[in-house]
Structure 1
């Protein structure tokens, strides 16, 4: 992207969403991941109890396993509603379940590190699921609150059984990790919010630059089609008053040059616009002495939107002007075809032809008024010509409207050597 620093481009790769939605979307994603981890912690606690029961057949773990069931149910309830009320209910029910679970574990599991591990597994869901909403700061506060509730419930149970204090190392690690993750995510989101306006501004400037380039290219092509062609026609005209048809054409083109209609984005064809514009262009060239034969299906032009139709009519007009000025013949054939996906127009003459490689770079008729103009409406141009064998120009324009008012010409290959 033009004009965007490297750091900004790196951040743009991970944005993908509007700035005002990014914090909430990221927080919701984090919360959903926490919910999944909480369910995994409850399942892990149940499995660990079962495995410990297999190793120690004399212990009774049924009460501890049953204590996990309401907690699992409240996880589902909070995930479904996600309100502060469901969060408070979860902490209340989860605190009771954690106390019940710790009561059984403290009484039945004498091994210190095993009991600490099991108690941590019962507290972790309170840390991970306590949050309500998707604001990063609130997620951290609810997680700390869940840890406090779970730690207090476990401590009360340990005191009731008279057992030794349990450090709950895994629970401490979890709460520290959650808070750190939320802080890092918030900082990254803030950086993205600062970068996003710069990205949008750069994209807007690039769009304006592209639009300006398209306008300048179209203006240059129109100027070539009108002023330069008319000056050549006037220079070749006999002495005396200017031909009435030529004068009318000059007046019409002056109206185009001084007006702004050619800048307006147009999408839908007017009834009869295709045939009228096409026939009017052909009549202008016939009036100047060129014998133009039309074949195929000219009604195929009716399927083009007005912008594409204007481009095709002007491009065909420039091809016929090239025939008159360069081909050394007074006849040309224009063929129109419809292949259901695009409209194809061919301009063929049996004149002297030309070698594209020997054409001067200052000749811009075929390059600017045909190739680039058709390219701006999503079309394609192919030229077949060689000295002594005539010239064929084929223009294909899709019926689907091109996006935007005026697009940037795509310089996929060098057209500077085309005949003008």
Structure 2
């Protein structure tokens, strides 16, 4: 109940209670039929067909009321149910001589009137309709008793049922009141948790972008020969400064912009080619465009960081980027034949692979695996599931080490 919005909780819980009452009412009629048949088996001279027939219209009206649930269907049920209760009680009073049995059977036919009479889902109204149903049933059985010359029967089971309905509604009302007091705190906590998670994601992405741009550019400038800055590097630095000082880095590629996604992928490859890295692209780059916007942005930026790592650390001037589509996920592999490294021995201050690749891909539900050792080159495989299957790709191979 605490998970239901505060303004809906009373009505939802009341409807649930009413539905449970309807099921119990049908069970009461079923118990009456079984009891009549047992009396018939025990004494063939007892004629119970009329009593069984009296229950059928009541059962049908339960279905009608459950279907419509209006005050009109409730009134119709009480009218038809009252007639059926009178008919049933008249047959039982004449055919079954045992007072306890008569009282029990009459209670069974009054119980549905107590349980099903309610219209709507307001707790107070449920109780009032139950009282009205009990009154109709009590009146109908009393008239039948007078007509048959039978004695008064207390209908203990019907009284117990009415008390049970009142107790249930009272308990539900108190529980709802408690939830209304507690739920605002829960909703506020949920909002704060959501905001904290969002803030943490933004901060992690900001740190990754800062690493991908400023630190990489500083490294490129330090390695550049003396003299004026390379024009391509200058343009890249200017574009990245404009990006990190604005709000564009918070936005993903537009939804459905397959061409824009592929262009972004090709653009990051061309950037590193312009910086002197020989990049070979194989496979199906169009698969990148089938990802959702956030995944496209994460994957493109992660590929850019992998290529930056090749330029700065691999000791080679070539790399291969392969794109695969297996129908479940888009997988991109960045492979080089450089010096390689041992990820377990990489310092904690080296954030490139950890922040800019692993955590970035992980935030969009993807998986990263790295194969590398000194002298054997490096292969980084990034798999990101397509939108309809997000979360279905196994997350194996995540490590704690990092390389920059």
Classify the TM-score, shorter chain: 0.7 to 0.9
CA gap 1:182/1:230 in 2 versus in 1, 3 angstroms? same
Query: Shift of the alpha carbon at 1:162?
Result: 4.5
Give the superposition deviation at 1:251.
0.6
Please name the residue that 1:9 is paired with: none
Structure 2: tracts of 5 or more residues without a match: none
- Structure 1 residue runs of 5 or longer lacking an equivalent are 1-13
1:291, 1:63 → 2: CA distance? Answer: 94
C-alpha separation between the residues in 2 aligned to 1:149 and 1:142?
10
Query: What is the distance in 2 between the residues matched to 1:393 and 1:59?
Result: 86
Q: Mean alpha-carbon deviation: is it higher for 311-320 or for 69-78?
A: 69-78
Matched, 1:339 2:326: yes
Q: CA separation in 1, counterparts of 2:48 and 2:283?
A: 88
Structure 1 partner of 2:115: 128
Q: Is the 8 A contact 1:155 1:165 kept in 2?
A: yes
Q: Following TM superposition, by how much is the alpha carbon of 1:368 offset from its aligned partner in structure 2, in angstroms?
A: 0.9
Mapped to 1, the partners of 2:231 and 2:44 lie a distance apart of 113
Structure 1 residue 184, shift from structure 2 partner: 1.7
1:255-266 to 2 correspondences below 5 Å: 255-266=242-253
Kept in 2, the 8 Å contact 1:378–1:402? The answer is: no
The alignment yields a C-alpha RMSD, in angstroms, of: 3.0
Residues 15 and 121, structure 2, Cα contact 8 Å, conserved in 1: yes
The correspondence of residues 11-410 of structure 1 with structure 2, limited to 5 A, is: 14-15=1-2, 17-56=4-43, 61=48, 63-268=50-255, 270=257, 272-400=259-387
User: Distance between the aligned counterparts of 2:347 and 2:93, measured in 1?
Assistant: 94
How big is the shift at 1:148? Answer: 1.9
Aligned to 2:401: 417
Secondary structure of the 2:387 match is: coil
Given that 1:267 and 1:307 are in contact with CA atoms closer than 8 Å, whether structure 2 keeps it comes out as no
Write the deviation string for residues 319-373 of structure 1: whole angstroms up to 9, x where unpaired. Answer: 2222222222233233333334333322222222111111110000111111112
Deviation at 1:224, TM superposition (A): 0.6
What is the Cα deviation at residue 60 of structure 1?
5.3
- TM-score, normalized by length of structure 1? 0.84
1:250-293 CA distances to partner (integer Å, 9 max, x unpaired)?
Answer: 11110111110111244435464345434443343333333333
Single out whichever of 105-114 and 235-244 deviates more from structure 2: 105-114
Which residue matches 1:7?
none
Instruction: Measure, in 2, the Cα distance between the counterparts of 1:65 and 1:296.
Output: 75
Question: What is the alpha-carbon distance in structure 1 between the residues aligned to residue 55 and residue 282 of structure 2?
Answer: 83
From the superposition, tell whether residues 242 and 36 of structure 1 become closer, same or farther in structure 2 (CA, over 3 Å): closer
The SS at the match of 1:97 is helix
Equivalent pair of 1:377/1:402 in contact (CA under 8 Å): no
Give the secondary structure class of the aligned counterpart of 2:303: helix
Q: Could you tell me how far apart the structure 1 residues matched to 2:292 and 2:117 are?
A: 58
Of 288-297 and 135-144, deviating more is 288-297
Structure 2 CA distance for partners of 1:265 and 1:203, relative to 1, 3 Å? farther
Whether the aligned pair in 1 keeps the contact of 2:277 and 2:318 (CA below 8 Å) is yes
8 Å CA contact retained: 2:367, 2:398? no
Q: Which has the higher contact order (CA 8 A, sep 6+)?
A: 1
Structure 1 stretch 321-330 or stretch 89-98: which is displaced more?
89-98
Task: Report if aligned partners of 2:281, 2:321 keep a CA contact under 8 Å in 1.
Answer: yes
Give the whole-Å Cα distance in 1 for the aligned partners of 2:278 and 2:10.
68
* Cα pair distance change 1:280/1:73, threshold 3 Å: closer
**Residue 119 of structure 2 contacts residue 125 of structure 2 at CA under 8 Å; is this kept in 1?**
yes
- Between the aligned partners of 1:268 and 1:204, the Cα distance in structure 2 is 26
Structure 1 distance, partners of 2:97, 2:329, is 81
Moved more, 112-121 or 292-301: 292-301
Residue pair 2:283, 2:324 contacting (<8 A) in 1 also: yes
- Cα contact 1:359–1:418 (8 A) shared by 2: yes
Structure 2 length-normalised TM: 0.87
Structure 1: distance between partners of 2:278 and 2:37: 97
Q: Determine helix, strand or coil for the equivalent of 1:137.
A: helix
1:378-411: CA deviations, max 9, x gaps?
A: 32221111111121222223343898xxx9xxx9
Q: Kindly indicate whether the alpha-carbon contact (under 8 Å) linking 2:369 and 2:397 is maintained by their aligned counterparts in 1.
A: no
Q: Secondary structure, in 3 states, of the residue corresponding to 1:360?
A: coil
Deviation at 1:222, TM superposition (A): 0.8
1:97/1:247 Cα in 2 relative to 1: closer, same or farther (>3 Å)?
closer
Deviation larger for 377-386 or 84-93: 84-93
